[in-house]
Structure 1
Amino acid sequence: MQTLVKFTLAAALLGALAGCGGRKAPPPPAASFTTAPAQPQVTSLNTAITYPKFGDNDPHEWGHFDPTDYPIHGIDVSRWQTDIDWREARRNGVSFVFIKATEGGDHLDPSFIDHWAGARDAGIRHGAYHFYYFCRSPEEQAAWFIRNVPRDNNSMPHVLDMEWNHHSKTCRLRPDGATIRKNADTFLDILQRHYGRRPIIYTTVDFYADTGIGNMRGERFWLRSVAGHPNEVYDGAPWTFWQYTGTGVVPGIKGGVDINVFAGDVLAWNYWLN
């Protein structure tokens, strides 16, 4: 197994490809990326088109920096997105997708298998996410995820989705921050041992503030921020992916969909995937 090394992406690297054609470079993310090996060589571009401009059913008026400053865009989907034309989505700029797989210890998203196969067959880099349920143990939930999500050499690191579920009819438990961080660490450790890569943590503004989950050092974060750049909304917290809308319009997908960006440029994206 190749040795993984960590480095913090410099602003020059972030702008190396983005600066071509007069486009301003995105703000340097407060993030570090895990790459391999120490002297990587890019042999292919794992992207669709770069700098796509998707529509939005409820657009936000962004400030100086906005999502279009980032070249690599992707989506996340669940059973609410049906009949996806994955090749059309890729042709129009979808470079990656996170797919809902499981929730708690006994729920499998009914569209997971179809979405997984569709994204894979279209050549879109894909990962699965687990929606955490606070009334089951992390061991039980990790085992359920592993039971349903296959090992796939072309997949991205998977995701632990931790957020408050205000609409749950079966679990009103809201653990304290220390308990949540401990349970998250347990879940991540189990998946890392099984899949060989440490998952990413997805979270929201209120959950981040309430639980201190950002204090888990060394973790990679996918942050939701639909009304401001995450560097501002999360006060400079590290991030690797940014979910910037939940009402996006993407060719090949009926209805609204979540859209995300990767924190770096094309070169950083290939480093990160490898």
Structure 2
Amino acid sequence: MKKKNTRTAYSRKSKKKRTVFSAKIFGYFIVGFLIVAVLSVAYHYRSGLANYLGFKSHYNSHTDVFSEARNLRVLEKNEGKIVGLDVSEYQGKIRWSYVDTLEKKYPLHYVFIRATVGNDRVDHQFKKNWLGAKENKMIRGAYHYYRPNENSLEQAKLFIKTVKLRKGDLPPVLDIEKLPKEQSIERLKVGLRRWLNAVELHYGVRPVIYTGEKYYDDFLKEEFSDYLFWIANYNFYREKIQDNWLFWQFTEKATVPGIDYSVDVNIYNGDLQQLHFITVE
């Protein structure tokens, strides 16, 4: 009969205990790190959290406490810049007479309204929003959601047919977010140029381009440097608008009186007088 090696068995048990102990220590470390991270974020946005928890009266179930706290932080950091919205049919039926301020402190001076999508669709709420914003004495602008795989001139034609810009309106906006599936990036850029040129020729004003920051850096920054950009970036670490951005869409999760769903909020890189300067004459 083979004799059992008690030393080896003890060694295995000890090793197993050390492994379990190490795993527990690592687990405690991860939990501790997460707690510190949450507390750090909470401290960073402490003024916004206090406002949210103490005075919030129009809470929207589509937003969350940290989004609202960050929004307030960004607004505080960009004091003096003009604040506005962008809306579409996704915001439902807007009660425009109630749309006045953000957090009862920051006046909403302008709004971009989605007008058209691709070469065949008009936003279901465009007409009502276009008239409602004007009646509410907001500076209004219209944007087109560009579909990369559809004819650019047909898309421009639909936008021109739908949107009648008046004196005091903001320049037209081309919203490009997707990459093409049926053509190259170079062909996409040709199409974008065609849309931009057609729209500028019709309205007599150079359009603004809306896109995400990464899309801007990767595909548009160099070849479209002769255009002004409206950039979307929701990252919590960015708290101030960059010098070369005309508009900054800093959140898609804000609550505004008169709107039942979450809404995008933007900062214009200037004051109200400068905003009037870029409107249609």
- Residue 238 of structure 2 aligns with an amino acid whose one-letter code is H
Q: Does 1:218 align with 2:232?
A: no
Contact 2:171 2:278 in 1 (8 A): no
CA distance in 2, matches of 1:223, 1:193: 24
Compute the TM-score of the two structures, normalised by the length of structure 2: 0.67
| Cα-to-partner distance string for 1:163-218 (whole Å, 9 max, x where unaligned) | 017xxxxx744631x33332222111111111111110000133224323454122
SS at match of 1:66: helix
- Residue 270 of structure 1 aligns with an amino acid whose one-letter code is H
Name 2:184's counterpart in structure 1: 175
- Residue 145 of structure 1 aligns with an amino acid whose one-letter code is F
Name 1:138's counterpart in structure 2: 152
Matches within 5 A, 1:27-106: 57-58=63-64, 59-60=66-67, 66-68=74-76, 69-70=78-79, 71-90=81-100, 93-106=107-120
Deviation at 1:132, TM superposition (A): 0.6
Contact 2:144 2:175 in 1 (8 A): yes
Compute the TM-score of the two structures, normalised by the length of structure 1: 0.69
Q: Of the candidates 223, 233, 251, which is equivalent to residue 257 of structure 2?
A: 251
Moved more, 92-101 or 178-187: 178-187
SS at match of 2:93: coil
Gaps of 5+ in 2: 1-57
- Residue 175 of structure 1 aligns with an amino acid whose one-letter code is S
Instruction: Name which one, 1 or 2, has greater alpha-carbon Rg.
Output: 2
Matches within 5 A, 1:103-252: 103-164=117-178, 172-173=181-182, 175-176=184-185, 178-227=186-235, 228-229=237-238, 238-252=244-258
Gaps of 5+ in 1: 1-53, 166-170
Task: Detail structure 1 runs of 4+ shifted over 6 Å in the superposition.
Answer: none
Name 1:28's counterpart in structure 2: none
When the two chains are superposed, the root-mean-square deviation of aligned CA atoms in Å is: 2.7
Moved more, 205-214 or 68-77: 205-214
CA distance in 1, matches of 2:136, 2:162: 21
CA distance in 2, matches of 1:226, 1:206: 12
CA distance in 1, matches of 2:229, 2:168: 20
Contact 2:168 2:276 in 1 (8 A): no
CA distance in 2, matches of 1:149, 1:180: 24
CA distance in 2, matches of 1:66, 1:82: 26
Contact 1:214 1:237 in 2 (8 A): no
Decide whether aligned partners of structure 1 residues 249 and 100 sit closer, same or farther in structure 2, where only a CA change above 3 A counts. same
Decide whether aligned partners of structure 1 residues 194 and 144 sit closer, same or farther in structure 2, where only a CA change above 3 A counts. same
Decide whether aligned partners of structure 1 residues 73 and 212 sit closer, same or farther in structure 2, where only a CA change above 3 A counts. same
Contact 1:201 1:222 in 2 (8 A): yes
SS at match of 1:74: strand
More helix by share: 2
Q: Does 1:260 align with 2:266?
A: yes
Deviation at 1:220, TM superposition (A): 0.6
Deviation at 1:231, TM superposition (A): 6.9
Identity in percent: 30
CA distance in 1, matches of 2:221, 2:59: 32
Q: Which has the higher contact order (CA 8 A, sep 6+)?
A: 1
Name 1:272's counterpart in structure 2: 278
Decide whether aligned partners of structure 1 residues 111 and 62 sit closer, same or farther in structure 2, where only a CA change above 3 A counts. closer
Deviation at 1:148, TM superposition (A): 1.0
